[in-house]
Amino acid sequence: MAIAVTDRIALTIRLDANPRYRGSVHDDDVARRLGYRAALVPGAFLYGHFSRIAVDRWGMAWIERGSMAASFRRPVYNGDAVTIAVTPGDGDAIHLSMTGHDGQVAAEGWIAPPAVAEAPSLGEWPLRPLPRPEDRPAVALGEAITGRRGGTAGTVATMAEILESRAAFDETHPIYEATGVAHPGFPMRRAMFEVNGSYRWPGPIVLTACEARHFAAVRPGQRLQVSSVIAETFVRRGKHYVVTEELMLADARPVARFRRTQLYGRDEA
């Protein structure tokens, strides 16, 4: 059923129990030490829940050729009940906002209908191996890191991983069962893990905004590679942010391009 642009959708945000969250802001102990009341739900999860609207409205065409953007304004915690409001945006785009039980906006963004877009030239996106944890270059607060390129593991997407991702997003749309393609949150998270795993950051890293453009669906059995570059850094109110540009390839063909803004450290008080 297509979702009308005036609908409101209520859901509960659930954080999957994955060992890789240990030691990050998605771990209860670390989050509380940083002043949060519990583990933060990753922004990629909120992106994934926003994509429900697009898939309900445009189906496979959006998974293969859609675009969206989202910014994350307030923390969302594991088990939080939220409401996504869907309203008309500019042109054919749709505006989305996610509010918590207190009525405060936690995230907002837009989704655009499927459109044919020229894929980036692969010559501009070199591939480098993902460094071993002990070989990751350290990043210091305020360091000039623009232009640095991340690495990629170049691993094959398995059906087990795709099903695990679908379960993590509580995604039950029949299109995934019928086609076997990955949920849009899957490539978003895979790219983020490889970008973040290319460096040693000075503290926990938090996704604050992202943009995505899809060129094709991700399917099991495809070899996924990510080319990334640090596009810019900036400081706002003592908080240090990094912006990365990323291109994901599946069997050497572009499937998605991301632009991601993340908080990576704070000045000491």
Please give the single-letter amino acid code of residue 165.
S
Contact 46, 13 (CB under 8 A): yes
pLDDT in tens, 176-224: 999 999 999 999 999 999 999 999 999 878 899 999 999 999 999 999 9
Distances 240 to 36, 140, 143 between C-alpha atoms, Å: 18, 10, 10
The CA distance from 216 to 118, in Å, is: 12
Please write the tens of the pLDDT for every residue from 123-182.
999 999 999 999 999 999 989 999 999 999 999 999 999 999 898 888 889 999 999 999
In the numeric block, which tokens belong to residue 156?
């094959």
Say whether pLDDT at 269 is over 70. Answer: no
C-alpha to C-alpha distance for 215 and 67, rounded to whole angstroms: 9
Percent of the chain residues topping a pLDDT of 70: 95
Query: Alpha helix locations (H) across the chain?
Result: 28-33, 43-58, 60-65, 159-168, 174-179, 185-196
Quickly list H helices, 106-173: 159-168
Say if residues 24 and 78 touch (Cβ distance below 8 Å). no
The pLDDT of residue 1 is above 70: no
- Measured CA to CA, the distance from residue 107 to residue 69 in angstroms comes to 11
Q: What is the pLDDT of residue 102?
A: 82
**E strand segments, 73-116:** 81-88, 94-99, 105-112
CA separation for the pair 134, 45 (Å, rounded): 28
- The pLDDT-based confidence of 2 (bands split at 50, 70, 90) is very low
- The CATH number assigned to the domain with range 8-266 reads 3.10.129.10
Q: What pLDDT is stored for residue 79 in this prediction?
A: 79
Q: List the structure tokens of 144.
A: 């000039």
Contacts of 123 (CB under 8 A, 6+ apart): none
- What are the structure tokens assigned to 205, written together? 């890293």
Q: Give mean pLDDT, residues 64-79.
A: 90
Q: What is the mean pLDDT of residues 8-27?
A: 75
pLDDT bin (cut points 50, 70, 90) of residue 3 is very low
Six-digit token pair at 57? 């409205």
Cα distance between residue 212 and residue 183, in whole Å? 14
Give me the residues paired with residue 207 across strands.
262
* Sequence ranges of the domains in the chain: 8-266
- Is the pLDDT at 6 greater than 60, yes or no? no
Q: Which of 173, 208, 158 is nearest to 49 (CA)?
A: 173
What does the pLDDT read at residue 19?
Answer: 62
Q: What is the pLDDT of residue 77?
A: 84
**Residue 74: DSSP 8-state:** S
> Does the structure show a pLDDT above 70 at 98?
yes
The predicted structure's pLDDT at residue 253: 96
Q: What is the pTM of this model?
A: 0.89
Please report the pLDDT score of residue 214 as a whole number.
Answer: 96
Taking all residues of the chain, what is their mean pLDDT, rounded to a whole number?
Answer: 89
Range of weakest confidence among 46-55, 143-152, 233-242:
46-55
For residue 4, pLDDT over 60 is answered with no
**Backbone φ and ψ of 152, nearest 5°:** -145, 145
Tell me the C-alpha distance between 251 and 158, whole Å. Answer: 13
Structure tokens that stand for 208 in this block:
């604050």
Q: Which tops the pLDDT comparison, 9 or 258?
A: 258
**Token output for 183:** 């949920």
Q: Which of 67-71, 98-102, 138-142 is predicted with the least confidence, judged by mean pLDDT?
A: 98-102
pLDDT for position 20:
67
Report d(CA 21, CA 42) in Å as an integer: 10
